DNA sequence: CTGAATCCGGCATGATACTG
DNA sequence: CAGTATCATGCCGGATTCAG
């Protein structure tokens, strides 16, 4: 009975499209894989180098999840050592827009979030004090 | 040494703004909290009801994370049973745009992803078969 | 009312070794 | 080359209980 485990969010349990999508792009390497494949086709090993830092196992999981959602096309070439090519589908290309918008926002407001964090952490360090000591 | 644990992604370990943001909005209830607070202020209990399904603990964590990132403003009113109000900051309001774009895409292409999954899962069920058995 | 403290299961990520 | 198998780890999300 298909030993496929459920890693990298393989389920459909969810009914909210937004959460569903976020489960996908929220997983650690998904966006970087999509970026790496933007406008080009890569083989498995090339992807492994392009993403850099991802473990083989997790890369496979990420690719499977993307393929399952129709965002990625996996092509096997029956050469002697088998070669496999990965490419984004038109569906994924359409996702690129909103994703880029989000990425742009993240880069633009990075500084705001960092300073907000510093302020928050600093405040947490002095629980009950109004005047700054010395 | 500050017993603050690290749940709901409190760290800054990351250097990529995009992944950083995705860690935030990727956590299970964040987007729903943001939606619930869109254009209005809510108290803790009101939020608890508005989001519906979130546990108290996780809601607190989610709110803390948002506050830490400067996306949420937390106001304590020293009434007899203390009341606390939560409201989005202008920063979060700006995030609303890209977020809505992503949500729209998710809703628009939900059907594509669902059918892609069905096809994928169906294919996985019959590993080495070309003709569909009656 | 608004949390904090504690305990727990489950799953994603990762390291390592093996294979067609 | 492109994975699979196995083991280990961390931590998110949830339930429950206590407190200011």
pLDDT digits (tens, 9 = 90+) for B98-117: 999 999 999 999 999 999 99
**Residue B34 maps to a domain:** yes
Does B6 or B116 have the greater pLDDT score? Answer: B116
pLDDT digits (tens, 9 = 90+) for B45-63: 999 999 999 999 999 999 9
Residue B14 placed within a domain:
yes
Strand partners, A48: none
Q: Which residue is nearest to nucleotide C5 (CA to C1')?
A: B57
pLDDT at A134: 40
Under the banding of pLDDT at 50, 70 and 90, the label for residue A126 is: low
Cβ within 8 Å, pair A94-B101: no
| Out of A122-126, B4-8, B64-68, least confident range | B4-8
What is the count of structural domains for chain B? 1
CA–CA min distance A116, chain B (Å): 5
Residue B86: inside a domain: yes
- pLDDT tens, position by position, A93-119: 999 999 999 999 999 999 999 999 999
When pLDDT is cut at 50, 70 and 90, the band that residue A124 belongs to is: confident
| Two tokens, residue B4 | 């603050």
What is the 3 state secondary structure string of B52-71? CCCCHHHHHHHHHHHHHCCC
Domain membership of residue A94 (yes or no) is: yes
Residues of B in Cβ contact (< 8 Å) with A115 = 70
pLDDT band at B134 (very low <50, low <70, confident <90, very high): very low
Q: Is residue A134 one of the residues assigned to a domain?
A: no
Residue with the two structure tokens 């070309």: B130
Dihedral sign computed on CA atoms, order B49, B35, B114, A1: negative
pLDDT band at B27 (very low <50, low <70, confident <90, very high): very high
Q: Could you tell me the CATH number of the domain that includes residue B92?
A: 1.10.10.10
Of the partner residues B17, B101, B125, the one whose CB lies closest to the CB of residue A98: B101
What is residue A15's predicted lDDT score, i.e. its pLDDT?
Answer: 76
The spacing between the Cα labelled CA in A129 and the C1' in C12, in angstroms, equals 40
Confidence tier at B3 by pLDDT (50, 70, 90):
very low
What per-residue confidence (pLDDT) applies to A84?
98
- pLDDT band at B125, cuts 50/70/90? confident
On whether residue B134 sits in a domain, the answer given is no
CA distance B45 to chain A (A): 23
Domain of B113, in residue numbers: 3-125
pLDDT at B15: 76
Radius of gyration of chain A from Cα atoms?
20
Quote the CA–CA distance of B102 and B99 in Å, as a whole number.
5
pLDDT at B2 over 80: no
* 3-class DSSP state of A83: strand
- Domain assignment present for B131: no
User: How long, in residues, is chain A?
Assistant: 134
- B133 falls within a domain: no
């Amino acid at each position: 009975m298909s030993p496929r485990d459920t890693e990298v969010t393989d389920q459909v349990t969810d009914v909210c499209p937004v959460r569903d999508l976020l489960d996908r792009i929220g997983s650690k390497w998904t966006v970087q894989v999509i970026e790496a494949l933007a406008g080009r086709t890569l083989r498995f090993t090339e992807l492994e180098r392009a993403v850099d830092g991802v473990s083989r196992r997790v890369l496979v999981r990420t690719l499977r999840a993307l393929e399952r959602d129709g965002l990625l096309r996996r092509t096997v070439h029956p050469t002697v050592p088998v070669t496999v090519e990965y490419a984004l589908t038109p569906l994924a290309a359409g996702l690129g827009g909103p994703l880029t918008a989000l990425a742009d926002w993240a880069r633009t407001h990075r500084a705001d979030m960092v300073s907000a964090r510093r302020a928050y952490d600093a405040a947490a360090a002095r629980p009950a004090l109004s005047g700054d000591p010395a």
